[in-house]
Amino acid sequence: MDTDPLMARARLLWESLAGVPVSFASAGGPTVVTAPASALAPPGWVGTVLLGDAAVVTAPTEGVAYAVRRALSGVPTLSLTDPGALARVWPVAEVLGPATLAYLSVEDFRPSLRAAGECDRLPAGHGDLLRLLSSVSEEDAGECGLEEITSPAFVVRHGPTVVAAAGYRHWPHSTAHLCVLTAPPARGRGLAREVASAATAHALASGQLPQWRARPPESRSVARALGFRALGSQLSVLPVSG
């Protein structure tokens, strides 16, 4: 049994997001369940979350769940979020991910020294945040999730313009899902770490579990710098129809 409290909280979160009773089992392969309302993947997709040495997989229908169980029966658990390993045993139409799932405890937090006094605070949905979002590609805007935050936004400006921002969305089980974005001309200057540090400190102060989900290496690097620990990964796939 895993006694890591950070791992236990992360698993509890994703078990609840599955939408049906399920648990991470560290033996016998992944736990595959039929869960049409699962939040592990978009509607109609198959979602896999790997945390430590155990995985949970949700499927939209029983037929798809049966096919997934058969396909994954010989796949090592640690390869379940590897698109290449999956493609070798089961045909899929589209793939989202994999994304690294990282979490942070108060004891491991390494705050940015600049964040304490240099970040402004804006309410979620503020016009300056929307202008920052409109300045980046559609892919970057969707990846960061900044438009969906429910916390205040912590920002850095260049003159009147917001060039970096971070906040978080309240998820179940007191989880703070971090969202960070830097305007392309301002990248490489440590601003992502600065604003993310302020948002993370805000979440920790209210007893929440900070979660960092990211695909780009640069984003994962910022998370590591703040003390986040990668505990697993997430992959969503759309089955081939027919």
Cis check: omega of the bond before 185, within 30 degrees of 0? no
Q: Within 10 Å of residue 105's Cβ, how many Cβ atoms?
A: 16
pTM for the predicted model, two decimal places: 0.93
Place of tokens 């402004």: 120
CA atoms within 13 A of residue 228's CA, in its CB half-sphere: 31
Long-range contacts (CB closer than 8 Å, 24 or more residues apart) made by 146-149: 146/179, 146/180, 146/181, 148/179, 149/124, 149/179
- Helix residue ranges, H only, 109-178: 115-118, 127-134, 138-144
pLDDT tens profile 15-59: 999 999 999 987 667 899 999 999 999 999 999 999 999 999 999
Q: Which residues of the chain have pLDDT under 70?
A: 1-2, 27-28, 114-117, 242
CATH 3.40.630.30 residue spans of the chain: 106-226
Place of tokens 């989880």: 175
Q: Which of the four CATH numbers 3.30.56.10, 2.40.30.10, 3.40.630.30, 3.20.20.70 does domain 106-226 have?
A: 3.40.630.30
The residue among 9, 14, 8, 11 whose CA lies nearest residue 209 is 9
